[in-house]
Structure 1
Amino acid sequence: MTAYIWESLQGHPCLGESEAAGQLRAVKCATGQVKPAAGSGLAALFGPGMLSGRARVVLTVEPGQKVEAVEYRKQRMDWKYVRTLTASGRDVYYVMLPDFPDDWLDVTLRVSGQQKADRIWLGW
Protein backbone atom coordinates (compact mmCIF):
# COMPACT_ATOMS: atom_id res chain seq x y z
CA MET A 1 0.00 0.00 0.00
CA THR A 2 1.15 3.52 -0.78
CA ALA A 3 -0.09 6.71 0.84
CA TYR A 4 0.34 10.31 -0.28
CA ILE A 5 -0.32 13.38 1.85
CA TRP A 6 -0.35 16.90 0.43
CA GLU A 7 -1.96 20.26 1.11
CA SER A 8 -4.61 21.84 -1.07
CA LEU A 9 -4.25 25.42 -2.29
CA GLN A 10 -6.40 26.39 0.70
CA GLY A 11 -3.94 24.71 3.08
CA HIS A 12 -6.16 21.70 3.85
CA PRO A 13 -4.37 18.36 4.22
CA CYS A 14 -5.33 15.66 1.71
CA LEU A 15 -4.75 11.89 1.71
CA GLY A 16 -4.50 9.58 -1.29
CA GLU A 17 -4.06 5.83 -0.83
CA SER A 18 -3.50 3.03 -3.32
CA GLU A 19 -3.27 -0.75 -3.09
CA ALA A 20 -0.97 -1.21 -6.07
CA ALA A 21 1.22 1.05 -8.16
CA GLY A 22 -0.89 3.37 -10.23
CA GLN A 23 -4.26 2.33 -8.78
CA LEU A 24 -5.50 5.13 -6.53
CA ARG A 25 -8.30 3.85 -4.30
CA ALA A 26 -9.18 6.73 -2.00
CA VAL A 27 -8.70 10.49 -1.86
CA LYS A 28 -9.87 12.64 1.02
CA CYS A 29 -9.26 16.25 2.00
CA ALA A 30 -9.93 17.75 5.41
CA THR A 31 -12.32 20.70 5.22
CA GLY A 32 -10.89 22.57 8.20
CA GLN A 33 -8.17 22.52 10.81
CA VAL A 34 -7.91 19.32 12.84
CA LYS A 35 -6.83 20.16 16.37
CA PRO A 36 -6.05 17.98 19.39
CA ALA A 37 -8.45 17.84 22.32
CA ALA A 38 -7.57 20.05 25.29
CA GLY A 39 -4.48 18.74 27.08
CA SER A 40 -3.49 16.44 24.22
CA GLY A 41 -0.78 16.86 21.60
CA LEU A 42 -2.24 14.58 18.96
CA ALA A 43 -5.33 14.26 16.78
CA ALA A 44 -6.61 11.86 14.13
CA LEU A 45 -6.24 13.69 10.84
CA PHE A 46 -7.77 10.84 8.81
CA GLY A 47 -9.33 7.66 10.05
CA PRO A 48 -9.46 5.25 11.45
CA GLY A 49 -10.16 3.56 8.15
CA MET A 50 -9.35 0.48 6.11
CA LEU A 51 -7.72 -0.29 2.80
CA SER A 52 -6.66 -3.70 1.51
CA GLY A 53 -7.99 -5.36 4.63
CA ARG A 54 -5.67 -3.39 6.91
CA ALA A 55 -6.65 -0.64 9.28
CA ARG A 56 -4.83 2.65 9.57
CA VAL A 57 -5.03 6.05 11.17
CA VAL A 58 -3.22 9.23 10.15
CA LEU A 59 -2.18 11.28 13.16
CA THR A 60 -1.02 14.85 13.51
CA VAL A 61 0.93 16.22 16.46
CA GLU A 62 1.46 19.74 17.70
CA PRO A 63 4.55 21.66 16.50
CA GLY A 64 7.62 20.77 18.55
CA GLN A 65 6.34 17.29 19.42
CA LYS A 66 7.62 14.07 17.83
CA VAL A 67 6.22 10.53 17.95
CA GLU A 68 8.61 8.02 19.51
CA ALA A 69 6.37 4.95 19.91
CA VAL A 70 2.81 3.82 19.21
CA GLU A 71 0.96 1.00 20.99
CA TYR A 72 -2.47 -0.49 20.44
CA ARG A 73 -3.78 -2.99 22.97
CA LYS A 74 -0.29 -3.08 24.55
CA GLN A 75 1.37 -4.11 21.27
CA ARG A 76 3.84 -1.90 19.41
CA MET A 77 2.53 -0.69 16.07
CA ASP A 78 4.42 0.25 12.93
CA TRP A 79 4.31 3.96 12.24
CA LYS A 80 5.97 6.34 9.83
CA TYR A 81 6.68 10.05 9.86
CA VAL A 82 5.20 11.45 6.67
CA ARG A 83 5.80 15.21 6.60
CA THR A 84 5.30 18.54 8.32
CA LEU A 85 2.23 20.48 7.20
CA THR A 86 3.06 23.95 5.93
CA ALA A 87 -0.15 25.66 7.07
CA SER A 88 -0.08 24.46 10.71
CA GLY A 89 3.49 23.29 11.33
CA ARG A 90 2.12 19.98 12.63
CA ASP A 91 3.90 16.70 11.85
CA VAL A 92 1.91 13.89 10.22
CA TYR A 93 2.32 10.18 11.01
CA TYR A 94 0.79 7.12 9.31
CA VAL A 95 0.01 4.22 11.70
CA MET A 96 -0.92 0.69 10.58
CA LEU A 97 -3.23 -1.29 12.89
CA PRO A 98 -3.92 -5.05 13.11
CA ASP A 99 -7.69 -4.69 12.77
CA PHE A 100 -10.37 -2.06 12.75
CA PRO A 101 -9.84 -0.22 16.03
CA ASP A 102 -12.21 0.07 18.93
CA ASP A 103 -9.82 1.02 21.70
CA TRP A 104 -7.22 3.58 22.79
CA LEU A 105 -4.10 4.24 20.77
CA ASP A 106 -1.25 5.01 23.18
CA VAL A 107 1.45 7.29 21.82
CA THR A 108 4.77 8.27 23.36
CA LEU A 109 5.74 11.79 22.31
CA ARG A 110 9.04 13.66 22.69
CA VAL A 111 8.32 17.19 23.95
CA SER A 112 11.14 19.60 24.90
CA GLY A 113 13.52 16.67 25.33
CA GLN A 114 11.15 14.76 27.63
CA GLN A 115 8.89 11.80 26.97
CA LYS A 116 5.16 12.40 27.33
CA ALA A 117 2.45 9.72 27.25
CA ASP A 118 -0.62 10.66 25.23
CA ARG A 119 -3.54 8.71 23.87
CA ILE A 120 -6.42 9.00 21.45
CA TRP A 121 -9.67 7.01 21.21
CA LEU A 122 -10.08 5.24 17.88
CA GLY A 123 -13.51 3.73 18.27
CA TRP A 124 -16.90 4.66 16.92
Structure 2
Amino acid sequence: MIDLLATHFNYLAVVALLAIGLYGVTASPNLVKKIIGLNVFQVGIFLFFVTSGFVDGAAPPLLGHGSAPYASPLPHVLILTAIVVGVSLTAVALALVVRIYDAYGTLDEDAIEEVRTYD
Protein backbone atom coordinates (compact mmCIF):
# COMPACT_ATOMS: atom_id res chain seq x y z
CA MET A 1 0.00 0.00 0.00
CA ILE A 2 2.80 2.41 0.91
CA ASP A 3 4.62 1.59 -2.32
CA LEU A 4 1.48 2.34 -4.33
CA LEU A 5 1.09 5.71 -2.62
CA ALA A 6 4.76 6.52 -3.16
CA THR A 7 4.53 5.89 -6.89
CA HIS A 8 1.22 7.70 -7.39
CA PHE A 9 1.66 10.72 -5.14
CA ASN A 10 0.69 13.02 -8.01
CA TYR A 11 -2.83 11.62 -7.92
CA LEU A 12 -3.01 12.27 -4.19
CA ALA A 13 -1.97 15.86 -4.88
CA VAL A 14 -4.68 16.10 -7.54
CA VAL A 15 -7.35 14.90 -5.13
CA ALA A 16 -6.10 17.28 -2.43
CA LEU A 17 -6.11 20.28 -4.80
CA LEU A 18 -9.57 19.44 -6.10
CA ALA A 19 -10.92 19.07 -2.55
CA ILE A 20 -9.33 22.33 -1.36
CA GLY A 21 -10.62 24.20 -4.41
CA LEU A 22 -14.12 22.80 -4.06
CA TYR A 23 -14.16 23.67 -0.37
CA GLY A 24 -12.99 27.21 -1.16
CA VAL A 25 -15.80 27.70 -3.66
CA THR A 26 -18.57 26.26 -1.52
CA ALA A 27 -17.62 27.33 2.02
CA SER A 28 -16.66 30.97 1.64
CA PRO A 29 -19.21 33.72 0.98
CA ASN A 30 -16.43 36.09 -0.17
CA LEU A 31 -16.30 36.44 -3.95
CA VAL A 32 -12.51 36.82 -4.15
CA LYS A 33 -12.06 33.64 -2.10
CA LYS A 34 -14.41 31.86 -4.51
CA ILE A 35 -12.22 32.92 -7.44
CA ILE A 36 -9.12 31.69 -5.61
CA GLY A 37 -10.89 28.38 -4.92
CA LEU A 38 -11.71 28.04 -8.62
CA ASN A 39 -8.06 28.65 -9.48
CA VAL A 40 -6.90 25.99 -7.02
CA PHE A 41 -9.44 23.56 -8.50
CA GLN A 42 -8.15 24.44 -11.97
CA VAL A 43 -4.54 23.72 -10.93
CA GLY A 44 -5.66 20.28 -9.73
CA ILE A 45 -7.16 19.56 -13.14
CA PHE A 46 -3.97 20.77 -14.85
CA LEU A 47 -1.87 18.46 -12.67
CA PHE A 48 -4.16 15.54 -13.49
CA PHE A 49 -3.80 16.06 -17.25
CA VAL A 50 -0.03 16.47 -17.11
CA THR A 51 0.33 13.43 -14.86
CA SER A 52 -1.89 11.29 -17.07
CA GLY A 53 0.10 12.35 -20.14
CA PHE A 54 3.45 11.27 -18.65
CA VAL A 55 5.01 8.10 -20.05
CA ASP A 56 8.02 6.72 -18.19
CA GLY A 57 11.03 6.30 -20.48
CA ALA A 58 9.30 7.82 -23.49
CA ALA A 59 11.08 9.85 -26.14
CA PRO A 60 9.79 13.06 -27.68
CA PRO A 61 7.78 12.42 -30.84
CA LEU A 62 10.57 13.26 -33.26
CA LEU A 63 11.80 11.32 -36.27
CA GLY A 64 15.00 9.35 -35.80
CA HIS A 65 14.49 8.22 -32.20
CA GLY A 66 14.10 4.56 -33.16
CA SER A 67 11.45 2.31 -31.74
CA ALA A 68 11.27 3.85 -28.26
CA PRO A 69 7.80 4.62 -26.94
CA TYR A 70 6.70 8.13 -27.73
CA ALA A 71 5.07 10.60 -25.36
CA SER A 72 2.10 12.45 -26.77
CA PRO A 73 2.53 16.23 -26.58
CA LEU A 74 -1.24 16.78 -26.78
CA PRO A 75 -1.99 16.88 -23.01
CA HIS A 76 0.77 19.42 -22.44
CA VAL A 77 -0.38 21.61 -25.32
CA LEU A 78 -3.95 21.50 -24.04
CA ILE A 79 -2.78 22.53 -20.57
CA LEU A 80 -0.78 25.47 -21.96
CA THR A 81 -3.92 26.66 -23.73
CA ALA A 82 -6.01 26.11 -20.60
CA ILE A 83 -3.56 28.15 -18.52
CA VAL A 84 -3.93 31.11 -20.88
CA VAL A 85 -7.72 30.80 -20.82
CA GLY A 86 -7.70 30.43 -17.02
CA VAL A 87 -5.62 33.56 -16.52
CA SER A 88 -7.90 35.60 -18.77
CA LEU A 89 -11.03 34.29 -17.05
CA THR A 90 -9.53 35.12 -13.66
CA ALA A 91 -8.84 38.66 -14.85
CA VAL A 92 -12.42 39.07 -16.07
CA ALA A 93 -13.81 37.61 -12.84
CA LEU A 94 -11.71 39.98 -10.73
CA ALA A 95 -12.84 42.92 -12.87
CA LEU A 96 -16.45 41.89 -12.24
CA VAL A 97 -15.74 41.64 -8.51
CA VAL A 98 -14.41 45.20 -8.56
CA ARG A 99 -17.61 46.36 -10.27
CA ILE A 100 -19.74 44.46 -7.74
CA TYR A 101 -17.84 46.06 -4.90
CA ASP A 102 -18.38 49.52 -6.40
CA ALA A 103 -22.11 48.85 -6.79
CA TYR A 104 -22.84 47.15 -3.44
CA GLY A 105 -19.95 48.13 -1.16
CA THR A 106 -19.24 44.55 -0.10
CA LEU A 107 -17.90 41.27 -1.43
CA ASP A 108 -19.99 39.09 0.87
CA GLU A 109 -22.44 37.03 -1.16
CA ASP A 110 -25.13 37.03 1.55
CA ALA A 111 -24.96 40.80 1.99
CA ILE A 112 -25.21 41.36 -1.76
CA GLU A 113 -28.26 39.09 -1.92
CA GLU A 114 -29.83 40.99 0.98
CA VAL A 115 -29.25 44.35 -0.73
CA ARG A 116 -30.67 43.03 -3.99
CA THR A 117 -33.88 41.85 -2.35
CA TYR A 118 -34.59 45.33 -0.98
CA ASP A 119 -34.04 47.06 -4.34
Question: Shared fold by TM > 0.5?
Answer: no
Counting strand residues as a fraction of each chain, which structure ranks higher?
Answer: 1
Q: Whose helix proportion is higher, 1 or 2?
A: 2
TM-score, normalised with respect to structure 2: 0.23
Indicate the structure (1 or 2) with the bigger Cα radius of gyration: 2
